[in-house]
Copies of this chain bind each other. A is one copy, B any other.
Amino acid sequence: MLAAPVNPADINMIQGTYALLPDLPAVGGNEGVGQVVEIGSHVTSLKPGDWVIPTDAAFGTWRTDAVFNEDTLVKLPRDIPLLCAANLSVNPCTAYRMLIDFETLGPGDSIIQNGANSSVGQAVIQIAAALGIKTINVIRNRPNLQELVHRLKSLGADHVITEEMLRKPEMQDIFKKVPKPRLALNCVGGKSTTDMLRHIQQKGTMVTYGGMAKQPVTVPVSAFIFKDVKLRGFWMTQWKKDQAQNKDRFSGMILNLCDLIHKGQLRAPACTEVPLKDYQIALEASMKPFTTSKQVLIM
């Protein structure tokens, strides 16, 4: 391996609270980029020097060397930045699929998302901007709020608001500039989610892909009956399982994302590079509240 990030799902997997747990003993890490050192005599799609990312979860990316079947790897172009490659196979893919698979959105449409500063959230902002889709981005109030607002806007965010703002009449000012969102992306749960749901368009969809607040999603019955909102979930791991017979869909998506990277439309999240031997520092840092930098292990 060359580099591998520390994602919240990695931590949950180590804590044993994730829905997918590898057999023990196991290597941590679900995402990352490696370089092919040597190939077996039957390998046709890869050669030494190629950059590769894992197609499946629970791959164990926090390591220096390993032997893998070529079917479990997807080749990347070598001309994208290392940190983009390391952060490609989970979060930008989640953002891409959620923007594509649930509502048919086009230029001028809008979406709303909470946890907009998460790695997925930042990818959503950039991919949506590349597609001409307006984004309303909800974040928690915090020290240095303006700095974060500025950073997300520099990625292409159209509107950045705090969770408290969701309940204020000033929200209507936003809807003078952009239409009400047909799609809401939720990685928080609890009150933030119910408040966000209030602003979704009639017959719109909310997709839940995380539960940072460790609270359930609460929906007024009237939203289902009279507003006809659809509530769905998304889990990249499940999507990959469902596409097991159709791996071209995954590699096709990866090429689309690399294309955005080439065009400068998709950047890696803010990262802190940590040598693998200092993994303890990286794990501790990744669990602090209001982290704005992703810990990436460098092998």
Interface residues of A (CB under 8 A from B): 19, 189, 194, 207-211, 215-235, 238
Contact = CB atoms under 8 A, between A and B. Distances in A.
A210 B221 CA distance: 7
Contact of A230 (B189, B209, B210, B230): B230
A233 B238 contact: no
Given A210-B221, A216-B219, A218-B216, A231 B230 contact: yes
A232 B206 CA distance: 11
Contact of A217 (B19, B209, B224, B227): B224
Identify the 8 closest CB pairs spanning chains A and B, nearest first.
A224-B233, A211-B221, A231-B231, A19-B226, A208-B224, A217-B219, A225-B235, A225-B233
9 contacts: A189-B221, A208-B221, A209-B224, A216-B218, A216-B221, A219-B231, A225-B235, A226-B235, A228-B232
Contacts of A217: 218-221, 224
A216 B225 contact: no
A244 to B, nearest CB: 16
A284 B208 CA distance: 43
A216 B210 contact: no
A280 B235 CA distance: 54
A222 B218 CA distance: 13
Given A216-B219, A220-B216, A208 B225 contact: yes
B189 A222 contact: no
A218 B221 contact: no
Task: Find the residue from A228, A231, A232, A238 having the highest chain B CB count within 10 A.
Answer: A231
Nearest to A238: B228
A211 B226 CA distance: 12
Contacts of A227: 233
Task: Find the residue from A189, A208, A223, A229 having the highest chain B CB count within 10 A.
Answer: A208
Nearest to A232: B230
Contacts of A222: 19, 211
